[in-house]
């Protein structure tokens, strides 16, 4: 027969178990957020219409642990100090060129070329030109050249050509955005556009 003391002990044991489970859940969530996957919201119009203001994405923070960044990928990164961003601010842009790539704007058809291959950028914001600035950049080792999809509303590599040709060190990449999950009506994976498959390696 259980006594009131036994019942009290059982209740305390359950509360201790709940507390342990809560602590474990918080620790696991912290580990996942710190090292594996993190959510980010879109703070500006610079990636429209691929990503709209206040959309939320999942970012794979392990994406570049074992392989280098790739052309066409949407990435979150901590801007170089030369970009004079607010402390702790992260940017989200699309990688146009990787280490060794020769990126030019623009050819006679007003297209950006990478290693001589014109990009058919059907992801650009409607009415936007590929760029309102000309540039001729060879991306340095361990760096990437990034642009927003809404070119007329994006502060990106073009704005910082005087600092390492506007390129971003790979070690500043937080991770690759791979899923748009909010709002649910726009949920989809963020695949690399087909045009990047035709880009040859750097010469």
Active site residues: 46, 93
Q: Which of 91, 101, 82 lies closest to 141 in space, CA to CA?
A: 101
Burial class (CB in 10 A: 0-12, 13-18, 19+), 143: buried
Q: Token digits for 27?
A: 């620790």
Q: What is the dihedral of CA 179, 180, 185, 191, to 10 degrees?
A: -60
Return d(Cα 14, Cα 12) in angstroms, integer: 5
Contact indicator for 163, 80 with CB cutoff of 8 Å: yes
Return d(Cα 61, Cα 189) in angstroms, integer: 16
């Amino acid at each position: 027969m259980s006594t009131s003391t036994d019942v009290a002990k059982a209740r305390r044991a359950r509360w201790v178990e709940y507390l342990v489970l809560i602590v474990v859940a918080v620790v696991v969530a912290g580990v996942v957020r710190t090292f594996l996957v993190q959510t980010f919201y879109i703070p500006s119009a610079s990636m429209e219409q691929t990503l709209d203001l206040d959309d939320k994405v999942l970012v794979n923070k392990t994406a570049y642990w074992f392989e280098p960044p790739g052309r066409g990928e949407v990435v979150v990164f901590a801007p170089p100090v030369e970009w004079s961003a607010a402390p702790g601010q992260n940017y989200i842009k699309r990688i146009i060129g990787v280490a060794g790539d020769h990126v030019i704007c623009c050819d006679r058809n007003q297209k950006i070329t990478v290693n001589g291959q014109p990009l058919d950028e059907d992801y650009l914001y409607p009415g936007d030109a590929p760029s309102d600035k000309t540039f001729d950049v060879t991306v340095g080792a361990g760096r990437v050249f990034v642009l927003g999809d809404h070119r007329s509303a994006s502060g990106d590599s073009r704005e910082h050509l005087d600092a390492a040709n506007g390129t971003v060190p790979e070690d500043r990449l937080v991770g690759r955005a791979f899923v748009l999950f909010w709002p649910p009506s726009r949920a989809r994976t963020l695949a690399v556009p087909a045009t990047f498959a035709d880009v040859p390696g750097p010469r």
